[in-house]
Amino acid sequence: MRLRNIPRAESVLRECKEVVKNASEHQNHWKKVFGNDHPVHIEIGMGKGQFLLALARRNPEINYIGIERYSSVLLRAVEKYENLSADMQKPLPNIRFICMDAREITEVFAPGEVEKIYLNFSDPWPKARHARRRLTSSDFLALYDQILTSDGTVEFKTDNRVLFDFSVEEVKASSLFELTGLTYDLHHDSSMNAGNIMTEYEEKFSSAGGAICKLVAARKGSAAGCI
């Protein structure tokens, strides 16, 4: 599906103070951006923002950064954030947004600066020649390893079984990560589904009876046990 360009997106994002411009200038200083020493969690490919906004409301002791490549998509998340702030009569202090390509994350975050990475319903890039573009490919796992804390984790959800199987094999073959959680039917797995927050897409897909897959991968050598 072709992404619809929204002409006003750039100007709206430019005016929103929660959208961080020149993000690489803040590498190794994200806690200063938030004004506290709380852990930093990021979502890559945040879509319309429902997932990250819910997390930020639920966990005020954690700083959240939503990353989205396309300004027209990020616009929807920012608008949702602004509507939520208006309803609450105050802005959420623990959330920021970045419009960037995920391949640039090591230029934006320093080693050990991120505690958790969320990947939700990422582009499956179905053609074999595009496998390295998948956010769970070994190329991206190597990038995540560079910015995560020693006990950092990656959480990945998808409805695409082909992409999920690929992702499981990439983690199993990795010298950097190990599987610590795995389910092929998240909403019927009481342990893995505990505390789950659904994205907009997840709500729609699961209401139609579709199964959601989820894995959790931890950096090797962390305290988390593999499965």
| Distance, CA of 55 to CA of 52 (rounded, Å) | 5
Active-site position among 37, 87, 123, 185: 123
**Residue 95: which of 149, 122, 55, 47 has the closest Cα?**
55
When comparing pLDDT for 224 and 129, which is higher?
Answer: 129
Q: What is the pLDDT of residue 143?
A: 98
Annotated binding-site members? 43, 68, 101, 123, 127, 159, 199-202
| pLDDT at site 221 | 78
Known binding-site positions for S-adenosyl-L-methionine: 43, 68, 101, 123
Per-residue pLDDT, 3: 56
123 catalytically annotated: yes
Predicted TM-score (pTM) of this structure: 0.94
**Using one digit for the tens of pLDDT, what is the confidence trace for 98-116?**
999 999 999 999 999 999 9
As given in the structure block, the two tokens for residue 117 are: 């990475």
Residues 6+ positions from 220 with CB-CB distance below 8 Å: 174, 175, 176, 177, 178
d(CA 214, CA 208): 18
The answer, yes or no, to whether residue 1 has pLDDT greater than 50, is no
